[in-house]
Amino acid sequence: LRSFLPFITSNCDRIIVTTFQIMTITKLKNAKIFRDGAFIKEDLWVSKGVILDPEKLFFSKKRLANVEIDVSGYLIVPGFLDIQLNGGFGVDFSSSANPEEVQSGIALVRRNLLQHGVTGFCPTLITSPVETYHTVIPKIKKSRGGREGASVLGLHLEGPFICPRKKGAHPEQFIQATEVGFSSLEQIYGEDMSNVAIVTLAPENEYSTDAIRHLVGKGIKVSIGHTEASIDCAEKAIMEGATGITHLFNAMTSFHHRDPGVVGLLPYGAEKRFKFWYGLIADGHHTHDASMRIAHKTFPEGCVLITDATQAMGLEPGEHHLGEQIVVLDEAHRLTVKGTDTLAGSVATMDLCVRRFSIIGGREQAILAATLHPALFLGLEDSIGTLDYGRNADFVVMSLDLHVVATFIGGACFYSNGDLDVAVHDVVDTTQDKKKKKEEAIN
């Protein structure tokens, strides 16, 4: 994205050609930009992969845009962030023991998420055999998005340190106990957890407090989930450093007036007594709309939309995989463990969840729950999750009814549905390039 301007200078018998690089400044005009929780009519200025302050650009540097894109009244929102994604488009992150399959699978998902407005996500592993963790964790590295697709924000390890009675679709034979605190996690996950962003665990497990403290000390977010925790136990976990609740209402003790369990934390979040965020699956199957309304009305600032999507996302009804288990997708897009009525993740895309939740909480609240709130939970709000000046230029152009028109990463368009007059950059599978070079080196 550089243009060049040659200047020719004559000096006696020689000609000197001097080439200067001109910084490309892009202006997206005629847009409604989502900023500070509301839509405003304003142009979006981008250069070198970040969002610019046009006033500083003009008055300090006397610069104007050299590329203009007419958005024609569409919305521009921050790129969506999905912190719980088990797979999609035929890929299951928890079922491959082949390192090359892991990398090619993550590459495929990164590319395909762009059509749904997702610019960053956390690949999620459900409760799995030890060998799966040792194979997958080192291979899925945090990486910035761009020509390879959406950013990988770090792994979400949902299990195996969960309550067997609240296992949901997790295979019980692989559930583990935190028998020796954090050392139990190192034995299962491996000592190098630099690729991990989130760990979901049941706080009532013995020595879980030690595990929470050590994970938080390593900069890993701890989320309460698949649990029978009482309100007192949940409070203790939050006070020890846990800052998340995994798919609220699902795989946890139901609300009771004498002991509200994990759900009882919501008013404490609203009162700012505790700082945490909670995930909601707005797929129409996991959580009733009334329940989502109760949660959001109680504590809107903590709401994070998640898809909990699986291998079957984007595929036809039939049998698919979730880790070591066979799951069945029916014609109503409901996914269950084969032979049971147990929900096994979803096939919802993030843009669908945003549209569904906009009916419940309003358009602006739905966008916040898919952008700023997950960024805050991950501690990445200084780079992603908003369209503030200086942030990464990762954003989505959307129709007024919240359908994805185009997806930009670092200010470059990597997906368009054709309705926007913009140059679209190719998204590539670099794993194939690496594989080819490896084969050439061997030969």
Residues annotated as catalytic (active site), given as ranges = 308
Would you call 91 exposed, middle or buried from its count of C-beta atoms within 10 A (0-12, 13-18, 19+)?
buried
Inter-residue contact 113 to 153 (CB < 8 Å): no
Phi, psi dihedrals of residue 88, rounded to the nearest 5°? 160, 160
Inter-residue contact 112 to 88 (CB < 8 Å): yes
Phi, psi dihedrals of residue 372, rounded to the nearest 5°? -65, -45
Residue 80, beta-bridge partner list: 118
Amino acid at position 41, single letter = K
Residue 1 is encoded by which pair of tokens?
Answer: 């994205």
Residue 149 is encoded by which pair of tokens?
Answer: 């697709």
Look-up: residue for tokens 């845009």?
Answer: 65
* Helix 182-189 / helix 208-217 crossing angle, nearest 10 deg: 70
